[in-house]
Amino acid sequence: MRNRKQRGSAMVEFVIAGIAGICLLISTIYMALAMWRYHTLAEAVHETNRYIASHGRSCTSGGNSCSITVGDVATKLRANAIGILDSQLNMTLIPQTSTAVNCNPLSSCISSTALWPPATNMDNAPGNYTKITASVTMPSAMILLWYGISGQRIGSITMRSTSSVPIVF
């Protein structure tokens, strides 16, 4: 008689523990993906800014012809941001004194022929800083289940990375 009262209890316990376990597993996977995507973004932004820093004013003087364009910078960021879609990646190029260039999304600047860093106000002189800010939006199925503070569902996370490097050449 006692066995009859306990029938199905293992299945109920498994469902209760299984739901929590599956949520924990999915959360761990999405957290790992978010960490990988952020690290990739930060590394891509830093390497792209190093690329810009080695193509300053001295690169265009004395018969040298190694100047780069905004399109070259966007292409370099795209090549360094492995696994991040162009449609999810935004970039802003910020010179020392001139106007910033926004590439939202990144693919909008691939064909740009504007020189970077700009020669206006000597922004491309060695010692001046060049700055890149980039962001990537990561949609997440797990976040859709979690309500934010305001009671609205959060469907994506935006991660940002910034790099500021002095022009060396």
pLDDT value of position 143: 58
pLDDT value of position 64: 72
Q: What is the pTM of this model?
A: 0.83
Helix (H) or strand (E) segment spanning residue 72: helix 70-80
pLDDT value of position 108: 95
pLDDT value of position 149: 61
Q: Cis omega (within 30 of 0) on the bond before 117?
A: yes
Q: How far apart are CA 96 and CA 119, in angstroms?
A: 11
| Nearest alpha carbon to residue 158 among 84, 74, 62, 108 | 84
Measure the N-to-C terminal CA separation of the chain; round to a whole number of Å.
Answer: 87
Burial letters 34-54, b for 16+ CB under 10 A, else e: beebbebbbebbbebbebbbe
Per-residue pLDDT of the chain (169 residues; tens, 9 = 90+): 556 667 778 888 888 999 888 888 888 888 898 899 999 999 999 999 999 999 888 776 667 778 899 999 999 999 999 999 988 999 999 998 889 999 999 999 999 999 999 888 888 888 999 999 999 998 766 555 665 566 566 677 899 999 999 998 7
- DSSP-assigned letters across all residues of 17-53: HHHHHHHHHHHHHHHHHHHHHHHHHHHHHHHHHHHHH
pLDDT value of position 145: 60
